[in-house]
Each structure stands twice: as C-alpha cells, then as structure tokens.
C-alpha cells in the first residue's frame, strides 16, 4: 500500500531511484502533457473516478506480485519434483490417447487394402462377356446377316442378327411356315434389347447411319436390306424410320457423301433384275427420307459372274469413284451416276475427277473404267484395311473413310491369283499364285512396316494350309498345315495395344509334315487357334467344337481393353430335322489366359510360365482412323 500511495503522489518531472532534485525542464514538459490530458473526457469506469480506478488496478497487480514472490520462497525441491512428475504423466496419457485413436484407424485402412488388392474380385463381369444363346432354326449352311453396334449406349457393341424360326420342320421346305425377324442382343450378356418382325429374308444388316437427332441414343439408325425393300430403323428401339421399295437388291448399302445438300449422307445399292442377268443398275437413295434420288442408272455389262462391290473410293485429289461389276472390276465417277439419275449437275465437291483415273478410260464414249480383265474373273474385291467384313460395312463415317482411301485386294479363283492393287493408278503392287480360296482374307499387322498383312488359307486333299502374306511385298511371313476343318468361315485379326495383331482362324489338328488326310472320320473337331507375331512357333487353342460355324466377327470393349470373338453356329438337335442356330461370344483375354498351348516345333523355350504370363497381359484396342 505504501508503494502504491507513493507512486500516486509522485510529482511530475524526472526522478531517480528515490526523491531527487527538481528538474525545471522536465516540469515544463509535464505541464504541457497535463494540459493535453485535461482535454480528454475522463468518464468514470464502474462508477469510479479514472484516477481511483487506475490506483485500484495498480494495487491489485502489486498484491499478485507479492503473492508470487512469497510462494516462490516457500516451494521446496520436493514440490518442484512433484510438478515434473505430474507433467510427465500427462504426456504419457496424451500419447496413450493418440495411440488408442490411431491404432483402429490403421487397422481399418489395412483391411480396406486387403479387400482391394488381395481378395479376388468376383468373375461376374468377366463371365458376362462369354455367353451363349440359341436363336432359332437353321436350314443348310447359310450364314445369317449380322452387324455390331452399340444400340443401348453402355459402351459395349451389341449384336444385331437375322433370325428364322420354322414351324412344322418335319414337312418339306415348301410347306413350312417361317417366322422372320431381326434381334438386338446386349453385348454384355445376350439379353434381348428389342425384336422386329420381318416379311422377307434379310441379305444385309448395317448400322451407323446418322439420323440428325441430338440424343445420342437416337442419333444412329440401322438399315435392313431384303430382296425387295430397304428399311431404316432406330438402332436403340427398332422402330421404323422409313421404308423404300427398290426392286431386286443384290448388294449391301454404300455410304456416300451428301449429294442433296441436306447435311445427311446418302446411300447407293446395286439391283439386278431376275430376267436380265447382265443389266446391273446402281440406285441412289436419300439417307434422310429413304426416297429414291432420281431413277436407277443401268449398266449393260457383257461379263457375267459373281457380283463385285459396290465400293466407294476417294482418290488423292478428292474425286469419288464407285467400283462394281459382275466378275470384273469396273469404276465409274460418282458425279456421272448423279447426273444420269437426276439430270442435274452434282455439287462441286462431287464433280471432281481424278486425271490419273480418267486416263485409264479406254474410250471417251464409255462411262466405265476397266480395272480388271474380262478373261480373268474376279471373286473378291476388298479394301486393304484392318478389320472384319461386318465392321467395314457399317454406315458410320469412320468405317467409310477407312475403306474409301485404301489399296485393294483382288482374288481370282479361276486363275488362282491373289493381288494387291495400288489405289493411285490401279496397278498391281504384287501378285502370287494360290490354291482354291473360298473366304476373303483377313488383314492385320504381323510385322512392323505399317502395311496390313494378309491371313489366307487354302484347302485341298483334306489339308488346310494357313499363310500370312506380307502386305507390302507378297512374300510368306508364316505358314503351317492343319487337318481341314470343312468350314468356310472368314478369318479374323484383332489389334493389340502394342500395334501388332493377333490372328484367329479355324482348323483341325496341326500336321507335322505334309500329307493327304482326305479320309477324315466325321464329325470333325474344329478348333479356334490364336497366333501372335511375337511367338510364331506357338499356337493357342482357344476353343473346340463339332458344330458347323457359319460366320464370325470381332467386337471390342474399350474400357476393359478386351475383345470378344462372336460366332454363329449350326448345332444338330436330337429329334429334329433342322439344327439350332446358336450365337456364342468368347472373351479373348479370358480364353488366352486358359488356352491350351501348342508348339509347332520341338523347342522348349519359351517356357509355359513365360507364355501364360505374356498372354495374360494382352490388351486389345480398335483400329484408329486418321481423318
């Protein structure tokens, strides 16, 4: 209290540790500050004068200092040690609480990792890519039309296939009642997406024609072609968009650029009247409404043979030509077809003509450009691109662009020659002699030169010889001989993530040495083999069957980096005159992981473990087209 009173009674001015002398300079400064302080309103705090409140606050501070000093003198060494022990115990308790919190959290995280990486995932998604479905009845060995397209927007290509159900199959064919339809089956399990009844048997199913709808599920259509009609249906629902009667159709549809300026691509088909075999006609059809564009354009072809094409080709200058024929390969300008059909001049883009191609015309009076000779009948004309025939016939812009700018494969069974023609001038790049070939070759990448190579097979005297020909030079890159499976199924190639292709083909058991095995016991066991370019002496046996395989195609699953082998077979049924039509899908990644390994040589390397490790890591992708 005394100290507080002394501070309160201090006189202004500079002082030492005790009351010292009076300093007049300091006194003057203090008087000025006092005058300034008097100008500030001194409001009472809590009912007290500010001076008294300050005095009371200083007294409380002095009392706290005295208490702390007294406590410091009274605490001994034992008391300080007790405080340190309590502090240490508190730290231990905190550590235990942290451990009690972190330990269950770590256990939970470890359990999640075990579930994610160590516990195997269920195989339901994988098994959905391998399914089988009986469709209907089949008579003979006719291959049903089939197309692949994502109709439900789930990212998986679905299957569209023509189905025939026959009642009274014990009666002659003329007395049987046929129910014709087209089915859309989900690619992820074979479930029925939609079904559409038909009046005529189908000769072609093609998807990808744009409808102009902004809704992705309704933006594409499928075109069903029968002998007398073309029907465009919504790919997602199967509802009819338009129907056109076009005469006796003998070909699939060809996608054309927009001819009418309505922002829709148009179509072209070939018709052949039954009473005039050589009077082949090309018909233009609106892709928007299905209406005929003008009238059919007739071409009096002197040759008679197998229908070739039609195919659309775009030259390096941007000119369009249609390639077609009956046993021969002819070409005609698209602008000429449009002018003859409508009597009008085509759009500027379609009017272009390629000078190199026009010089191939032997006569100015002729509208046709002869590409092959009449004396050498042609059986196949194909685009030299990677992919199956079913995929290349789709009506989307990517497929059409891929096919229209490539070289061509020309096959003639009469002369037993296989040739590749250069698209720029139609001259042969290479040509070689082969035995009888009944199916179109499959193109894929066996070597790394960037040019598609060809998988071909020849059958004679009960032996099937399978070869891979270099697409750039025509030399043999790989070959082997097998027991003939008595099948005429198109071979396939599937592009892998590395840029190489695996090749799929049907055959019997491999033969170590050439021999005549024409007397083969029935039924023949047909085997599906896979060949990878990295291991040319190794074959994977993916499946085997005694069914008669009618057609096959390959579907890609981009998200799973997988591909499915889709086959349509005729399976004998007990107690029935007709067999059942069966659709099967096989996941290539799953089949390759569990396939039987066949070695074409006696070498033990690579080991089976290395091979299975390699094939388990296979990933597939679809061919990319540079637009």
Task: Name the DSSP class of 114.
Answer: I
Of 54-58, 271-275, 338-342, the least confident: 54-58
Specify whether the CB–CB gap between 189 and 131 falls below 8 A.
yes
Closest CA to 393 of 624, 156, 203, 586: 203
Closest CA to 130 of 601, 547, 538, 555: 555
Q: What is the mean pLDDT of residues 119-123?
A: 52
Closest CA to 292 of 199, 229, 211: 229
For 9, residues 6+ apart whose C-beta sits below 8 A from its C-beta are: none
Q: What H or E segment, with its residue span, contains residue 243?
A: strand 240-245
Q: Which of helix, strand or coil describes residue 161?
A: strand
* 138 strand-pairing partners: 579
Q: What is the mean pLDDT of residues 97-120?
A: 80
Q: What H or E segment, with its residue span, contains residue 401?
A: helix 397-404
**Residue 487 binned pLDDT confidence (cut-offs 50, 70, 90):** confident
Higher per-residue pLDDT: 72 or 527: 527
Does residue 175 register a pLDDT over 70? no
Tokens of 350: 């379609």
CA gap 285, 308 in Å, rounded: 20
440-476, pLDDT tens digit by residue?
889 999 999 989 999 998 888 888 899 999 999 999 9
Specify whether the CB–CB gap between 288 and 212 falls below 8 A.
yes
Average pLDDT, the chain: 80
34-81, pLDDT tens digit by residue?
444 444 444 444 444 444 445 455 555 555 555 455 544 444 555 456
Q: What is residue 291's predicted lDDT score, i.e. its pLDDT? A: 95
Q: What H or E segment, with its residue span, contains residue 254?
A: strand 254-256
How far from chain centre, in Å, is Cα 331?
A: 33
313-335, pLDDT tens digit by residue?
999 899 999 999 988 899 999 99
Specify whether the CB–CB gap between 361 and 369 falls below 8 A.
yes
Whole-model pTM? Answer: 0.76
529-588, pLDDT tens digit by residue?
999 999 999 999 999 998 889 989 999 988 889 999 999 998 887 666 677 889 999 999
**Residue 91 binned pLDDT confidence (cut-offs 50, 70, 90):** confident
178-188, pLDDT tens digit by residue?
889 999 999 98
Closest CA to 528 of 511, 513, 549: 549
Specify whether the CB–CB gap between 469 and 522 falls below 8 A.
no
Q: What is the mean pLDDT of residues 272-285?
A: 80
Burial class (CB in 10 A: 0-12, 13-18, 19+), 176: middle
Task: Name the DSSP class of 175.
Answer: G
Does residue 478 register a pLDDT over 70? yes
Q: What is residue 214's predicted lDDT score, i.e. its pLDDT? A: 81
Specify whether the CB–CB gap between 291 and 285 falls below 8 A.
yes
Does residue 15 register a pLDDT over 70? no
**Residue 28 binned pLDDT confidence (cut-offs 50, 70, 90):** very low
**Residue 627 binned pLDDT confidence (cut-offs 50, 70, 90):** very low
CA gap 566, 587 in Å, rounded: 9
CA gap 365, 480 in Å, rounded: 50
Specify whether the CB–CB gap between 423 and 482 falls below 8 A.
no
Give per-residue burial for 525-548: e unless 16+ CB within 10 Å, then b. ebbbbbbbbebbebbbbbbebebb
Higher per-residue pLDDT: 380 or 26: 380
Where are the extended beta strands (E) located within 272-415? 279-285, 297-300, 307-314, 320-326, 330-333, 369-370, 380-383, 408-412
CA gap 587, 88 in Å, rounded: 66
For 613, residues 6+ apart whose C-beta sits below 8 A from its C-beta are: none
**Residue 176 binned pLDDT confidence (cut-offs 50, 70, 90):** low
**Residue 426 binned pLDDT confidence (cut-offs 50, 70, 90):** confident
Residue with tokens 């049903």: 144
Q: 523 preceded by cis ω (within 30°)? A: yes
Specify whether the CB–CB gap between 226 and 169 falls below 8 A.
no
* 419 strand-pairing partners: 410, 431
Q: Any idea how long the chain is? A: 627
Q: What is residue 497's predicted lDDT score, i.e. its pLDDT? A: 92
CA gap 537, 611 in Å, rounded: 12
Q: What is residue 38's predicted lDDT score, i.e. its pLDDT? A: 47
Q: What is the mean pLDDT of residues 187-214?
A: 91
Task: Name the DSSP class of 115.
Answer: I
**Residue 138 binned pLDDT confidence (cut-offs 50, 70, 90):** low
Percent of the chain with pLDDT over 90: 40
CA gap 381, 325 in Å, rounded: 10
Percent of the chain with pLDDT over 70: 76
Question: Based on C-alpha coordinates, what's the Rg of the chain?
Answer: 43
Of 157-166, 246-255, 380-389, 582-591, the least confident: 380-389
Does residue 22 register a pLDDT over 80? no
Q: Which of helix, strand or coil describes residue 449?
A: coil
């Amino acid at each position: 209290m005394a100290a507080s009173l002394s501070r309160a009674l201090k006189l202004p001015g500079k002082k030492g540790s005790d009351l010292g002398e009076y300093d007049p300079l300091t006194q003057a400064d203090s008087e000025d500050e006092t005058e300034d302080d008097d100008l500030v309103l001194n409001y009472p705090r809590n009912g007290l004068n500010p001076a008294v409140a300050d005095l009371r606050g200083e007294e409380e501070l002095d009392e706290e200092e005295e208490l702390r000093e007294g406590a410091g003198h009274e605490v001994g060494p034992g008391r300080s040690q007790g405080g340190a022990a309590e502090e240490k115990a508190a730290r231990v308790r905190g550590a235990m609480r942290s451990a009690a919190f972190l330990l269950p959290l770590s256990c939970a995280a470890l359990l999640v990792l075990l579930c994610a990486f160590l516990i195997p995932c269920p195989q339901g998604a994988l098994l959905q890519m391998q399914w089988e479905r009986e469709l209907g009845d089949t008579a003979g060995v006719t291959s049903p039309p089939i197309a692949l397209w994502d109709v439900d927007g789930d990212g998986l290509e679905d299957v569209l296939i023509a189905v025939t159900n026959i009642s009274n199959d014990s009666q002659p064919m003329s007395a049987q009642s046929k129910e014709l339809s087209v089915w859309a089956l989900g690619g992820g399990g074979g479930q029925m997406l939609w079904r559409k009844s038909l009046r005529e048997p189908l000769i072609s199913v093609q998807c990808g024609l744009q409808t102009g709808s902004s809704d992705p599920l309704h933006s594409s259509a499928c075109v069903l072609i029968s002998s007398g009609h073309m029907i465009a249906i919504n790919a997602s629902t199967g509802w009819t968009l338009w129907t056109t009667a076009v005469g006796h159709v003998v070909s699939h549809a060809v996608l054309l650029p927009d001819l009418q300026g309505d922002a829709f691509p148009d179509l072209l088909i070939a018709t052949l009247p039954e009473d005039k075999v050589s009077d082949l006609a090309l018909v233009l059809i609106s892709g928007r409404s299905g209406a005929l564009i003008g009238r059919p354009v007739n071409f009096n072809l002197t040759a008679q043979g197998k229908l070739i094409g039609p195919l659309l080709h775009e030259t390096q200058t941007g000119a369009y030509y249609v390639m077609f024929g009956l046993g021969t390969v002819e070409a005609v300008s698209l602008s000429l077809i449009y002018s003859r059909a409508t009597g009008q001049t085509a759009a500027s883009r379609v009017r272009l003509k390629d000078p190199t191609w026009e010089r191939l015309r032997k006569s100015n009076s002729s509208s046709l450009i002869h590409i092959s000779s009449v004396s050498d009948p042609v059986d196949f004309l194909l685009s030299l691109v990677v992919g199956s025939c079913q995929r290349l016939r789709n009506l989307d812009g990517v497929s059409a662009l891929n096919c229209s700018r490539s070289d061509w494969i020309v096959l003639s069974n009469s002369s037993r020659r296989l040739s590749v023609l250069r698209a720029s001038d139609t001259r042969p790049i290479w040509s070689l002699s082969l035995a009888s070939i009944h199916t179109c070759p499959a193109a894929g990448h066996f070597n790394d030169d960037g040019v598609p190579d060809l998988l071909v097979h020849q059958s004679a005297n009960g032996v099937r010889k399978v070869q891979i020909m270099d697409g750039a030079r025509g030399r043999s890159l790989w070959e082997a001989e097998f027991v003939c499976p008595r099948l005429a199924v198109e071979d396939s190639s599937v592009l892998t993530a590395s840029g190489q292709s695996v090749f799929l083909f049907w055959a019997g058991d491999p033969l170590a040495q050439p021999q005549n095995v024409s007397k083969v016991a029935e039924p023949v066991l047909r085997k599906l083999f896979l060949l990878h370019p990295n291991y040319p002496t190794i074959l994977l046996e993916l499946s085997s069957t005694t069914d008669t395989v009618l057609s096959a195609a390959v579907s890609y699953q981009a998200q799973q980096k997988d591909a499915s082998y889709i086959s349509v077979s005729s399976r004998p049924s007990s107690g029935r005159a007709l067999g059942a039509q069966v659709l099967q899908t096989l996941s290539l990644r799953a089949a390759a992981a569990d396939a039987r390994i066949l070695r074409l040589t006696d070498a033990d390397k690579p080991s089976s473990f290395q091979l299975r490790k390699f094939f388990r890591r296979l990933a597939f992708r679809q061919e990319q087209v540079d637009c």
